[in-house]
């Protein structure tokens, strides 16, 4: 994949490896059982030693925490439980000292129900915020396919919501308004919403942020056509604003269709657990490719991935995360050997990898937890970081935390794995270092499958750049796998037994500098 001018000005993306920090679960500095910004600052050296050079921070805004902070009450204020805006400013400064780029979550689609904007919009008398949200004209009229809030104020009408019913949708207009209350995307109120979000972006960029991960990025203009043309135009407007005022601002979208999001001006898009099944076929389907049972099908991934990669035309990156706060952890159903093979794939593919905190030590999905802060089945992926085996796992000085700890006797910890040369943590460190040391393995190196047969193992692909060819071979299945050609060259990294000619050992992986 050849870089274009669109991304050449973001040279750091060439070798970006992101670490996702979930603030409330990463490090507690004051003993209240909830992570905070000072705790995050105290662990920056760990993230650097891991080899990551970029950070995504989940929402740290003031919130009633009905959806873990994605229900924002004040976009320009850090939630008191995390600290202050000055703490956030210091976090940016300390991160920059260590060479990190920091993206923070932007939640442009909705707010909390007690946001001052929404409170003002509920008033019966017309005011500046009357149309900041999407309201029907009558309490008796719903929002069509969209859920609504009803009977909550003196204002006549129902308020459309974006996700949970306590998250009213901000008004960016409709692609094809067919009711009087559905405003077009260029209506004054819809344009005012855009300007309000731009103002929020200015605030955080001025404080030190390097960019944003944008929540539900394709959902802003409602009832868009296939291909999201109206939302693409919307984000092109945001990109024009950023190019003029903050040209350094990097953006990654929760969109899931890189051809669309990159056309909208994003530099990166995720492969995710919703939408096309390519990502799920790797790790989380009934028979994922990365499983000892060996019943997966790598072609289910490639049939989507290859044309998607080609569609980016080198204008942006496809990011494959280990997991995130919205899905079950990578370690669910896998042991440490399996995880080393997964990370060999994740850290040798094109695009910028994203590592969810704790995945690098194989933190487990905790089954059966009671929902915390709107997590529901996601709660088991949000438990506190496990730093060392003692009360509070080094996460907190308290005996308890806002989400229960992993009570397993063999719960993985950073401290234990740092001492074990064969640990998953040290394998991840080695793979990140390998990626950084070889242009072929970085974000823009060419990708070409060499062996990828339907319902067969192994999966072998080539990465190439600057005259260098590296072959990656993966056999997650618990049986030997045969190739129609030998794997030859210098083995740079291996999981399990190294390949022998045309044969790969069960549960093995290799990164080979080709002859």
Using one digit for the tens of pLDDT, what is the confidence trace for 459-474?
Answer: 999 999 999 999 999 9
pLDDT at 3: 53
> CA–CA separation, 186 vs 448, rounded Å?
43
How far is CA 10 from its chain centroid?
A: 19
pLDDT at 274: 84
Domain 446-514 classified CATH 2.40.50.140?
A: no
> CA–CA separation, 111 vs 63, rounded Å?
9
pLDDT at 84: 98
> CA–CA separation, 211 vs 458, rounded Å?
38
pLDDT at 4: 52
* % pLDDT > 90, the chain: 95
- What separation in angstroms does the CA of 167 have from each of 8, 164, 172? 38, 5, 15
Among 142-151, 194-203, 296-305, 408-417, the range scoring the smallest mean pLDDT is 142-151
> CA–CA separation, 356 vs 412, rounded Å?
15
Interacting residues of 24 by C-beta distance below 8 A, sequence separation 6+: 34, 35, 68, 69, 81, 82, 373, 382, 402
Angle at 27 between CA 22 and CA 29, to 5 degrees: 135
259-274: pLDDT as tens digits: 999 999 999 999 988 8
316-368: pLDDT as tens digits: 999 999 999 999 999 999 999 999 999 999 999 999 999 999 999 999 999 99
Summarize the confidence of residues 408-422 as an average pLDDT: 98
> CA–CA separation, 179 vs 300, rounded Å?
41
Helix H or strand E encompassing 450 = strand 446-451
pLDDT band at 277 (very low <50, low <70, confident <90, very high): confident
Interacting residues of 98 by C-beta distance below 8 A, sequence separation 6+: 44, 45, 48
Whether omega before 455 lies within 30 degrees of 0, making that bond cis, reads: no
Question: Which phi and psi (to 5°) does residue 94 adopt?
Answer: -70, -35
211-235: pLDDT as tens digits: 999 999 999 999 999 999 999 999 9
Q: What is the CATH number of domain 5-107+271-436?
A: 3.20.20.80
- The answer to whether the pTM exceeds 0.85 is yes
Is 5 a residue whose pLDDT tops 80? no
Tokens matching residue 124? 């019966």
Instruction: State the fold for domain 110-169.
Output: Oligo-1,6-glucosidase; domain 2 (3.90.400)
76-124: pLDDT as tens digits: 999 999 999 999 999 999 999 999 999 999 999 999 999 999 999 999 9
pLDDT at 1: 47
> CA–CA separation, 249 vs 317, rounded Å?
15
Summarize the confidence of residues 397-420 as an average pLDDT: 96
pLDDT at 515: 77
Tell me the pairing of strands 489-495 and 508-514.
antiparallel
What residue spans define the domains of the chain?
Answer: 5-107+271-436, 110-169, 446-514
Tell me the pairing of strands 54-57 and 18-21.
parallel
> CA–CA separation, 366 vs 483, rounded Å?
38
299-327: pLDDT as tens digits: 999 999 999 999 888 889 999 999 999 99
> CA–CA separation, 133 vs 190, rounded Å?
9
Summarize the confidence of residues 64-86 as an average pLDDT: 98
How far is CA 473 from its chain centroid?
A: 26
Residue 83, CA atoms < 13 Å, CB-side half-sphere: 22
Is 187 a residue whose pLDDT tops 70? yes
pLDDT at 313: 87
- What separation in angstroms does the CA of 515 have from each of 297, 329, 438, 487, 502? 29, 37, 15, 10, 16
pLDDT band at 206 (very low <50, low <70, confident <90, very high): very high
- What separation in angstroms does the CA of 403 have from each of 43, 370, 406? 20, 9, 10
Residue 57, CA atoms < 13 Å, CB-side half-sphere: 27
Contact at 8 Å (CB) between 355 and 55?
no
DSSP state of 347: T
Interacting residues of 97 by C-beta distance below 8 A, sequence separation 6+: none
pLDDT at 121: 98
Is 8 a residue whose pLDDT tops 90? no
Summarize the confidence of residues 276-289 as an average pLDDT: 94
Q: Count CB-CB contacts under 10 A for residue 378.
A: 19
> CA–CA separation, 430 vs 338, rounded Å?
16
Q: What b/e string do you get for 320-346 counting C-beta neighbours within 10 Å, with b at 16 or more?
A: bbbbbbbbbbbbbbbebbbbbbbbbbb
Strand ranges (DSSP E) for 138-267? Answer: 148-149, 159-160, 211-214, 250-253
pLDDT at 27: 98
> CA–CA separation, 288 vs 162, rounded Å?
31
Burial label for 12, CB within 10 Å (0-12, 13-18, 19+), is: middle
């Amino acid at each position: 994949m050849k870089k274009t001018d669109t991304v050449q000005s973001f040279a750091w993306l060439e070798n970006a490896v992101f670490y996702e920090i979930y603030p409330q679960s990463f490090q507690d500095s004051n003993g209240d059982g909830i992570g905070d910004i000072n705790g995050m600052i105290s662990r920056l050296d760990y993230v650097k030693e891991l080899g990551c050079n970029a950070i995504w921070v989940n929402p740290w805004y003031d919130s009633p925490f009905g959806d873990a902070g994605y229900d924002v009450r004040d976009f320009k204020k850090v939630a008191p439980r995390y600290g202050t805006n000055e703490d956030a400013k210091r976090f940016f400064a300390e991160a920059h000292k260590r060479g990190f780029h920091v993206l923070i979550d932007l939640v442009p689609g909705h707010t909390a129900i007690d946001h001052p904007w929404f409170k003002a919009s509920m008033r019966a008398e017309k005011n500046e915020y009357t149309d900041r949200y999407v309201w029907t004209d009558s309490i008796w009229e719903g929002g069509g396919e969209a859920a609504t809030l009803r009977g909550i104020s003196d204002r006549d009408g129902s308020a459309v919501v974006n996700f949970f019913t306590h998250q009213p949708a901000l008004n960016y207009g409709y692609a094809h308004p067919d009711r009087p209350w559905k405003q077009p995307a260029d209506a004054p109120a819809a344009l005012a919403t855009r300007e309000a979000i731009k103002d929020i972006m200015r605030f955080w960029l001025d404080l030190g942020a390097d960019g944003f991960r944008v929540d539900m990025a394709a959902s802003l203009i409602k009832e868009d056509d296939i291909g999201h043309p109206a939302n693409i135009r919307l984000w092109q407007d945001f990109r024009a604003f950023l190019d003029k005022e903050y040209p350094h601002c990097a953006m990654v979208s929760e969109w899931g269709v890189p051809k669309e999001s990159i056309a909208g001006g994003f530099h990166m898009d995720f492969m995710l657990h919703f939408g096309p099944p390519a990502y799920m076929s790797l790790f989380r389907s009934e028979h994922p490719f990365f499983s000892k049972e060996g019943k997966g099908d790598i072609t289910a991934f490639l049939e989507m991935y290859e044309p998607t990669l080609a569609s980016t035309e080198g204008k942006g990156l496809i990011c494959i995360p280990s997991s995130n706060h919205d899905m079950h952890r990578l370690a669910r159903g896998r042991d440490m050997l399996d995880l080393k093979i997964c990370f060999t794939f994740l850290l040798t593919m094109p695009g910028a990898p994203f590592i969810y905190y704790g995945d690098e030590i194989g933190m487990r999905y905790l089954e059966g937890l009671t929902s915390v802060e709107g997590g529901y089945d996601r709660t088991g992926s949000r438990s506190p970081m496990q730093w060392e085996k003692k009360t509070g796992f080094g996460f907190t000085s308290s005996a308890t935390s806002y989400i229960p700890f992993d009570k397993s006797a063999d719960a993985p910890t950073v401290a234990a794995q740092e001492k074990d040369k064969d640990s998953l943590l040290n394998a991840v460190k080695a793979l990140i270092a390998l990626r950084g040391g070889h242009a072929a393995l970085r974000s823009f190196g060419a990708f070409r499958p060499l062996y990828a047969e339907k319902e067969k193992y192994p999966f072998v692909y080539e990465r190439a750049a600057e005259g260098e060819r590296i072959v990656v071979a993966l056999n997650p299945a618990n049986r030997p796998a045969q190739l129609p050609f030998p794997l030859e060259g210098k083995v740079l990294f291996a999981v399990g037994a190294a390949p022998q000619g045309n044969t790969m050992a069960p549960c093995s992986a290799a990164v080979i500098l080709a002859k």
